[in-house]
Amino acid sequence: MRTKIVAGNWKMNNEKTETSSLIYALNSQGDFGSTRVIIAPSYVHLAQAVSLTVDTEIEVAAQNMHEATSGAYTGEVSPAMLSSIGIQTVILGHSERRAYFGENDATLAKKVTNALDHDMDVIFCFGEELEDRKSGNHFEVVKSQISNTLFELKSAAWSKIVLAYEPVWAIGTGETASPEQAQEMHAFIRNLVQEQYNGSLANQVSILYGGSVKPGNAQEIFSKQDVDGGLIGGAALSAADFTTIIKSI
């Protein structure tokens, strides 16, 4: 059975006390069953988040990392630094990183490799723009993002990869892909992985949906066969909403 995952990407939100209050509130919600629950606060609060979630069901992830192991990269954070404070998962390829910070497939392939070299799990994000969907190119765009970045990996590396389909037009816009659109794309992605690798590997990889998932639509989206959970932005900033979404699985 595939692992169900709900991950909250806090983006550039929450100061120190808000970070601890939100974590306390999530911890008090208790039992998330077999669902893997991940939060991704900003770099400056990661160590604090790790210590507040010791012995809880909540895991802490980073929102990004640099592709090099160390060196003269002012302002950047390496995978070794993250693992040294207990971070075992990193989100890579978020559309905001691609759009505002110029991350492309080549950079992301290096980041993925370096994260894996540090034994980290990767939540790899990708998704089409509105124009791609309008022009019917969405499958091609998603295919090239995944294949350019991940298809050089050895099969064994895929146990550390989680895929997150995030149509850019649905992120922070209040607009979601319909459950049918999400399922159609997720099935397409699973099939791509099957063609490149094999059926059992494709069956094992968790594919998350992201883009305006809210308490009111989570259950319907998560009910789809190839949707294994969600990557949540705005709604992850409220303990009540995030918990409702987790429990919708």
Chain position whose Cβ is nearest to ligand PGA:
233
Alpha-carbon distance of 66 to 52, in angstroms, equals: 25
Q: How many residues bind ligand PGA (CB under 6 A)?
A: 13
The answer to the question of residue 210 lying near ligand PGA (CB under 6 A) is yes
Q: Applying CB under 6 A, which part among 34-42, 97-105, 139-147, 204-212 lies near ligand PGA?
A: 204-212
To the query of whether residue 138 is one of the catalytic residues in this protein, the response is: no
CA distance 95 to 92: 9
- Give yes or no for residue 89 binding ligand PGA (CB under 6 A): no
Enter the tokens of residue 235.
């709604």
Q: Which two tokens stand for residue 249?
A: 């699985």
Interface with ligand PGA, residue 41, by CB under 6 A:
no
Residue with Cβ nearer ligand PGA (37 or 213)? 213
Query: Residues 59, 96, 103, 166: which is the catalytic one?
Result: 166
Contact 9, 223 (CB under 8 A): no
Crossing angle between the packed helical segments 138-150 and 105-117, to the nearest 10 degrees: 40
Pairing of strands 5-9, 207-210: unpaired
- Residue 94 among the catalytic residues: yes
| Residues between 135 and 174 that touch ligand PGA (CB under 6 A) | 166, 171-172
What is the nearest approach in angstroms of ligand PGA to the Cβ of residue 239? Answer: 15
Mapped onto helix, strand or coil, the DSSP state of residue 245 is: helix
What DSSP line would sit under 84-148, residue for residue?
HTT--EEEE--HHHHHHH---HHHHHHHHHHHHHTT-EEEEEE---HHHHHTT-HHHHHHHHHHH
Stretch that binds ligand PGA, among 54-62, 142-150, 186-194, 225-233 (CB under 6 A): 225-233
**Upper half-sphere CA count for residue 166 (Cβ side, 13 Å):** 29
52, 82, 92, 213: which one binds ligand PGA (CB under 6 A)? 213
Q: Is 9 in the site for ligand PGA (CB under 6 A)?
A: yes
| Contact status: 232 vs ligand PGA (CB under 6 A) | yes
Q: Establish if 233 lies at the interface with ligand PGA (CB under 6 A).
A: yes
**Which position among 45, 94, 138, 186 bears the catalytic label?**
94
Residues marked active site are found at 94, 166
Q: Which residues bind ligand PGA (CB under 6 A)?
A: 9, 166, 171-172, 210-213, 231-235
